[in-house]
Amino acid sequence: MVASSVLGFPRIGANREVKKAVEAYWAGKISADDLTKAAAEVKKTSWNSLKERGVEIIPSGDFSLYDHILDHSAAFNVIPKRYLGHNLSPLDVYFAMGRGRQTKDVDVPASEMKKWFDSNYHFVVPEFSEETDFKLNFNKALEEFKEAKAAGVATRPVVVGPITFLALGKASKEAKPGFQPISLLPKILPVYKQLLADLKSAGAEWVQIDEPILVLDVAANYEKQFTTAYADLAPVAPKILLATYYGRLDSNLSFVAKLPIAGLHIDLDRAPAQLDEVIAAVKPTPIVLSLGVVSGRNIWKTDFEAALKLGKKAVDALGSDRVIIATSSSLLHTPVTLAAEKKLTEEQKDWFSFALEKAEEVAVIAAVLSGSQDPKVSKALEANKASITKRRDFERNSDDAVRKRVAAITPDMLERKSPFSVRKEIQKETLKLPKFPTTTIGSFPQTQEIRTARAKLGKKEITAEQYEDFIKKEIESVVRIQEKIGLDLLVHGEPERNDMVQYFGELLEGFVFTQNGWVQSYGSRYVRPPIVVSDVSRPTPMTVKWSSYAQSVTEKPMKGMLTGPVTILNWSFPRADVSREVQCKQLALALRDEVIDLEKAGIKAVQVDEPALREGLPLRKADWDAYLGWALPSFKLATAGVSDALQTHSHFCYSDFDDIFPSIQALDADVISIEASKSDMKLLNTFKHYGYSNQIGPGVYDIHSPRVPSEQEIKDRLKDMLAILPSDLLFVNPDCGLKTRAWKETEASLINLVNAARWARETY
């Protein structure tokens, strides 16, 4: 029999119970006990709903109140000293590590957070040193295994693997130079053994050990570590299913297939082509193969026919007892259930599968492969066929004009008319900016008043006209404030935007939105990504009204503000039927029209933000060129349709430029602004190494904290930058948008920024 399995489940709860309880606990409104109870309810519901949907292998231990890597650190006593000794409960130490803690007795910042592989989920980075004293503070996998058992559900506990855990961590400040976390493997293995042995004695037959690091190039360096670790763990552990996801094993397969594991999970959503070689590698072994055919990363209904083909191949080669049908990864990246969507049409709902619907899919696919005669199964199979056919019809009848336009893109459309050196002189004339021009990244504080007005419009408590008047007043007031502060290149402040992607998605043709499609970004922060469902086009201008209004109330130049094509795509659920390249180019064409319209409306500078360009980089370096091969041209397509006089800007929310700097340079934006305040040295070294030919504004202060930078600090930063960058290329700006800040610190910081720029003009 072919079994069915889910690798992990969303933690939020169908009605956001966990998010609400966690935040209520932080606010002191509920006790730790109440929080535990709320979490227990959600876990129980999730396990039972998976069981009801026919999933045989149900995960436990994957739940988290904040982040599963943070759970693992806390459980293994990987707790930086700064969080200890404050008389906090273990739960509060845990949250302090995740989000920092600032009370009258304790003031500790949060640990570093990093993007989890190529997803928009962030994990809390573990910190290791020679002194790290691993011990099992608690056995979360075991606790949840027992909790599920008590609720009547047998589960397969999930544990983060030792190599992935160490490799994703960083050396703490206390570590000696050159220290590598992976060197701690011999020290951590005894703790793993204890954890696994406990699971075994509690009756767990299998354990899922997650080693997603195996889909990265770096894992090739860890062959020895994998071999020793699993030889050490296997004898005491339940049967080990080694789970890999988000990509392909590639050359790592050669040593993985030799590990003493009982099962191997591979991602066939991201990397279906690896199936043949994986089958060949495991065939001579007793390893059970878990096929990730139902996407854990996207929300489209699985095409059963395609999945069955892959499944059948494995069954033919290995026999049905050695095959499991599974989700490609944890379902952490998908919303809980479609049942909660009341506004999608029946036609649209028929296209999608969220977590619970996906659970049903794995169960049905496994049942078909097992030869089930159950009429419910054949009905589900038929219904799937009908849905997929309807969706394909819809796709075929999508917007032909858009496709023709994409096909007609020519290389000259990607280039500005003249090189930067020429544009720069023309722009000097049109914009008349002083040396060291000051500007901001776009948004100004999103006040409660703004959010209330938007909510009222949504509930139709105010009319569109009233809302428009409100926004115009906001814009005018933001313009006056910038004039008063003395900024040179102004922005309209983005008060009309709920979110930098959703705002555009709602105005473009080709997107749909969910009401309840929450996906965890980090901690208790969840986002609702828009879904690209068909060819994308722009029925009407999206920002011209606001930008030209803003320009009409000031003599100073106004910078138009757009989100770039790559970022819109990366922060949405993309279509599965056409490539990301095609979707990105469609977005780029829509944005190109917008940039051209902004110029026609008299705007002289336009910023196209691409903060997500970097996170879209594929996990394997071998795939980078393919990605950059369409991502960079898409940006250029969006921005190159204007005259030399229009100054194009772009913004990036990261400073880790080492490996991508030449690509940023190749975008040929007239000005880029980047996050720089958190790691200047690294960034400056990159500049030293590559040089930069166009204009650039490395952020001069960190907007992620309410702290006001002093004028002197900003001057010092400018001095550092001017030691490396030519003075006529430098812009002076904060390192990101100001929407999350309050007005008080915003004004104070910007006054210091303008004063520092004035000083630079006199000094350099």
Contact residues toward ligand GLN (CB under 6 A) are 441-443, 494, 500, 561, 609, 611, 651, 653, 736-737, 739
Please enumerate in sequence order all residues whose Cβ is within 8 A of that of 329, keeping only pairs 6 or more positions apart, or say none.
7, 8, 212, 245, 246, 267, 269, 292, 296, 297
Q: Which is nearer to ligand GLN, 268 or 613 (CB)?
A: 613
Task: Please enumerate in sequence order all residues whose Cβ is within 8 A of that of 685, keeping only pairs 6 or more positions apart, or say none.
Answer: none
Query: Looking at this protein, which amino acid is placed at residue 40?
Result: A
Nearest to 663 by CA among 699, 706, 627, 695: 627
Distance CA 576, CA 353 (A): 13
d(CA 437, CA 653): 20
Using CB distances below 5 to 8 A depending on partner kind, what does residue 500 bind out of ligand GLN, Zn ion, none? ligand GLN
Residue 394 one-letter amino acid: F
Closest CA to 300 of 361, 364, 351: 351
598 belongs to the binding site for Zn ion (CB under 5 A) = no
Among the residue ranges 44-52, 125-133, 151-159, 608-616, the one whose residues contact Zn ion (CB under 5 A):
608-616
Q: Which residues contact residue 666 at a Cβ distance below 8 angstroms, ignoring those fewer than 6 apart?
A: 632
Give least dist CB 651 to Zn ion, A: 5
Instruction: Tell me the residue type at 626.
Output: A
Residue 142 tokens, joined? 């075991």
| 69 or 631: CB nearest Zn ion | 631
Q: Which does 739 bind (CB under 5 to 8 A by kind): Zn ion, ligand GLN, none?
A: ligand GLN
Least distance to ligand GLN from the beta carbon of 739, Å? Answer: 5
Give the whole-angstrom CA distance, residue 549 versus residue 495.
13
Nearer to ligand GLN, 609 or 644 (CB): 609
Nearer to ligand GLN by Cβ, of 257 and 736: the residue is 736
Q: Least distance from C-beta 256 to Zn ion, angstroms?
A: 38
Closest CA to 571 of 620, 521, 525: 521
Does residue 462 touch Zn ion according to CB under 5 A?
A: no
For 248, list phi and psi in degrees, rounded to 5: -105, 155
Handedness of CA 662, 124, 79, 132 (dihedral sign): negative
Distance (Å, rounded) from C-alpha 384 to C-alpha 391? 10
- Minimum distance from residue 291 beta carbon to Zn ion (Å): 39
Sign (positive/negative) of CA torsion 146, 147, 149, 153? Answer: negative
User: Which residue's Cβ lies closest to ligand GLN?
Assistant: 737
When the beta carbons of 170 and 704 are compared against ligand GLN, the nearer one is: 704
Q: Which is closer to ligand GLN, CB of 206 or CB of 635? A: 635
**714, interface contact from ligand GLN, Zn ion, none, CB < 5-8 Å by kind:** none
Residues 6+ apart with CB under 8 A from 438: 486, 487, 488, 489, 731, 732, 733, 753, 754, 757
Least separation in angstroms between CB 318 and Zn ion:
48
Binding mask 650-669 for Zn ion (x = CB under 5 A): ---x----------------
Give Cβ neighbours of residue 761 (< 8 Å, ≥ 6 apart): 434, 435, 436
Amino acid in position 389? T
Catalytic annotation, pick one of 68, 265, 649, 704 = 704
Which residue in the block uniquely carries the two structure tokens 């009222």? Answer: 456
Long-range contact list for 250-257, CB < 8 A, 24+ apart? 250/274, 250/620, 251/220, 252/214, 252/215, 252/219, 252/220, 252/223, 253/277, 253/278, 253/281, 254/281, 255/223, 255/226, 255/227, 256/214, 256/226, 256/281, 257/281, 257/282, 257/285, 257/287
DSSP 538-579: -SS-SSHHHHHHHHHT-SS-BEEEEE-HHHHHHTSBPPSSS-
Least Cβ distance, residue 614 to ligand GLN (angstroms) = 12
Residue 443 CB, nearest approach to ligand GLN (Å):
3
Name the minimum Å distance from CB 703 to Zn ion: 8
CB 269 within 8 A of CB 574: no
DSSP 490: B
If the CB atoms of residues 443 and 634 are measured against ligand GLN, the closer one turns out to be: 443
Listing DSSP states for 620-662 in one string gives SGGGHHHHHHHHHHHHHHHHSSS-TTSEEEEEES----TTTHH
Q: Is 704 a catalytic residue?
A: yes
Contact map string, positions 184 to 203, toward Zn ion, x by CB under 5 A: --------------------
440 vs 752, which CB is nearer to ligand GLN? 440
Residue closer to ligand GLN by CB (options 360, 610) is 610
Query: Which is it for strands 695-698 and 671-674: parallel, antiparallel or unpaired?
Result: parallel
Q: Which does 561 bind (CB under 5 to 8 A by kind): ligand GLN, Zn ion, none?
A: ligand GLN
- Closest approach, Cβ 610 to ligand GLN, in A, equals 9
Binds 609, which of Zn ion, ligand GLN, none (CB < 5 to 8 A, cut-off by type)? ligand GLN
What single-letter amino acid sits at 125? V
Task: Candidates 87-95, 333-341, 459-467, 647-655: pick the segment binding Zn ion (CB under 5 A).
Answer: 647-655
Q: Which range binds Zn ion by CB under 5 A, 266-274, 350-358, 430-438, 606-614?
A: 606-614
703 binds Zn ion per the rule CB under 5 A: no
Query: Does the footprint of Zn ion cover residue 736 (CB under 5 A)?
Result: yes
Residue 442's binding partner out of ligand GLN, Zn ion, none, with CB under 5 to 8 Å set by partner kind: ligand GLN
Beta carbon nearer to ligand GLN, 443 or 570: 443
Kindly state the smallest distance separating residue 663's Cβ from Zn ion, in Å. 18
* Interface contacts to Zn ion, rule CB under 5 A: 611, 653, 736
Write out the catalytic residue numbers.
704
